[in-house]
A and B are shown apart, each in its own frame.
Chain A
Amino acid sequence: MYNTKIRGVLVEGNKSYADVSRDIIAPIENTAPGWWIYAFAIGIGALIYGVWAFYITISEGIGTWGLNNSVAWGWGIINFVWWIGIAHAGTAFSIFLLIVRQKWRTSINRAAEAMTVVAVLCAGMFPLIHMGRIWMGFFIMPYPNTRGPIWVNFNSPLFWDVVAISTYLMASAVFWYVGMIPDFATIRDKATSKVRKAIYDFLSFGWVGSARGWLRFEALAMILGGLTAPLVISVHSIVAMDFATSVMPGWHSTVFPPYFVIGAIFSGFSMVLTLMIIIRTVYKFQSYVTDSHINAIAKILVFISLIMGTAYCTEIFIAWYSGGEYEYYTFFNNRISGDYTIAFYGMIICNAIIPQLFWFRKIRKNIILVFIISLFVNLGMWFERYVIVITSLTKDYMPANWSTYSPTVVEIGVYVGTLGFFICGVLLFLKFLPMIAISEIKGVLKPTSNGQYLKK
């Protein structure tokens, strides 16, 4: 059974079950606070810039981006991989911790899942517009057509990506929504306005919390979790194979799939940390997202950071040890030294060195420092994708093909637009949906309260 001594109290402040419902529903029942409106306005502003950039990209073409013959993948693919990495938060948190029965996930899983769904939507945007002619996008679907019928290339990682990412979006959305059904029922039964009651009644699918309902609900959660856990490994392995199956120096590497998966979980965890610190501060949810939660995430980050550091060292070592001169040139003359050193050292410092500060308990306890470090990791993971995509493409086998790359205002706009979309999506989630899993918190409230539980 659950051992409270190892993990400590999961929900602090002697909360009763009614308190849990009330606290978590409060942001939905109350009107949106001032900061929410300002943040939403900023998100909309960014989104408008993004819509403009999107429009220019579609109407005029990919020529409006800074891409050229050599650097055919620029910010579009960097941001695609970055968002997909962040999208691994929900799975990492919710699903891996569910199947290893780590009860401390309950305060954080819902927000992590919401983040996942919004981040996958952001990520999916990039390959779509990168096609150039988005209206031809349906060609990627294997359907009986009048062109032969010629089928899509089922052996291409680019097609695997389409299958894996759409399955991942579906699985995450399903896992997220099904988890919310009992909480929608709680909101429905507690709602004070008729409109809200009707909306959440519709969303709750008629859930009443009967014995067999709960049994099947738990079984379904385990099935979805158990199936999605290997999926997440495959999603980012496939993204890695987009690179690794090519013959570009710096990409053509067997370490790529595990290296990408770990990197994705790393960026997912750090984004969760960033968001949870904001949520617990602005909504005063310190009783639910306790210092112990932050501490646990920080410990995981320091561990993953070590793996990241090892992966970087492995790549550099193999570039030298393999004796491949192109590989050697990419790593030693175009990353460690050369034009892109800022991105390379940014990546090393942000991902492999700064998180090492989490070895110190004092730093793990200092919320502001933890927040800043989590931002550094987000930035570092962006640098990592920049290093991978750009340095390999700018200088490949033929010096005649060498070229430089810098993004245009349109490319930047698409990225800022997805950031705006993410901000708006997460804010809408915080306002209208239960941001902490109410029923799951109740399930761990008593067994983990260390005898502090008091009936009120």
Chain B
Amino acid sequence: MVSTLRNNNIFGVFDDEDLFIAAMKKMEKAGIRIKNVFTPYPIEDVFNILGLKTRMPYTAFIYATIGVMLTYAFLYWTSVIDYPVIIGGKPTNTLAFVVILFVMTINGGIVMSLFTFFIIQKLGPGKPARVVHKDITDDKYVIVIEKTEEMSNEETQRINSALFENGAIEIGEKENVETI
């Protein structure tokens, strides 16, 4: 989840995808906990290294199921219970509902997945962007490591040198960066 608590962080900026991925691997190996990474486009390796998974496809399935059930309940209530209209003896609970059910399944899946995305990712119109480095939406890759209060100077130094040795072109500190 995104954390908005006050915190301080060290970040390293990379200008090459391969160096950045290699640096992530080496730092994970060296036991340095990566707090978050920022990239200009999605990179599959990042998800693998950090072991990130999402349950959104499952929730989408649930939403679609909710969509179809609510729609069927509505159609049944209106056409069978509330005001049944008998036309040529045809059944009021009819197979022709399938078209609307199909569309509303999709509708439910899309609308609720969208809101889920915005809510869990805490995105919304006018939300101020906490940008770690001005070029992360352009051509730079950033690794962020949290600098805790109990961290000694040596440890901070070790993180800085690990970033530097692995090819970071710029190292700095930034407060209040969101966690993965």
Contacts and interface: CB of A to CB of B under 8 A. Distances in A.
B42 A219 contact: no
A202 B127 CA distance: 7
Nearest to B122: A206
A158 to B, nearest CB: 12
Given A209-B38, A446-B17, A234 B99 contact: yes
A446 B15 CA distance: 13
A224 B123 contact: no
B52 A212 contact: yes
Contact of B106 (A181, A213, A222, A228): A228
Contacts of A202: 125-126
Contact of B99 (A160, A218, A222): A160
Nearest to B97: A154
Given A18-B139, A149-B83, A210 B178 contact: yes
B27 interface: no
A52 interface: no
Contacts of B82: 149, 151
Contacts of A157: 99
Contacts of A211: 36-39, 46-47, 50, 52, 180
A167 B103 contact: yes
Residue among A157, A207, A209, A238 with the most chain B CB within 10 A? A209
A187 B118 CA distance: 20
A210 B35 CA distance: 10
B64 A227 contact: yes
Interface string A320-335: 0000000000000000
Contact of A174 (B17, B79, B114): B114
A219 B110 contact: no
B47 to A, nearest CB: 5
Interface stretch (A109-117, A271-279, A435-443): A435-443
B54 A219 contact: yes
Interface in B56-88: 56-57, 60, 64, 74-75, 78-79, 82-83, 85
Interface in A156-202: 157, 159-160, 163-164, 167, 170-171, 174, 178, 181-182, 185-186, 188-190, 201-202
A182 to B, nearest CB: 7
Nearest to B128: A206
A205 interface: yes
Contacts of A150: 83, 85
A216 B124 CA distance: 15
A342 interface: no
B97 A206 contact: no
Interface in B73-123: 74-75, 78-79, 82-83, 85, 94, 96-97, 99-100, 102-104, 106-107, 109-111, 113-114, 117-118, 120-123
Interface in B28-55: 36-43, 46-47, 50, 52-54
Contacts of A167: 103-104, 106-107, 110
Interface string A216-240: 1111101110011011001000100
Nearest to A205: B123
A146 interface: no
Interface of B: 15-17, 36-43, 46-47, 50, 52-54, 56-57, 60, 64, 74-75, 78-79, 82-83, 85, 94, 96-97, 99-100, 102-104, 106-107, 109-111, 113-114, 117-118, 120-132, 134-139, 178, 180
**A-B complex: 10 closest residue pairs judged by Cβ atoms:** A206-B127, A17-B139, A214-B42, A155-B96, A442-B41, A205-B123, A219-B56, A443-B41, A186-B137, A151-B78
Interface of A: 16-18, 21, 142, 148-151, 154-155, 157, 159-160, 163-164, 167, 170-171, 174, 178, 181-182, 185-186, 188-190, 201-220, 222-224, 227-228, 230-231, 234, 238, 439-440, 442-443, 446, 455
Given A18-B139, A170-B107, A209-B38, 17 more contacts: A17-B138, A151-B78, A154-B97, A167-B110, A170-B111, A181-B123, A186-B138, A201-B126, A202-B126, A205-B124, A208-B132, A209-B39, A209-B136, A211-B46, A213-B121, A214-B41, A234-B103
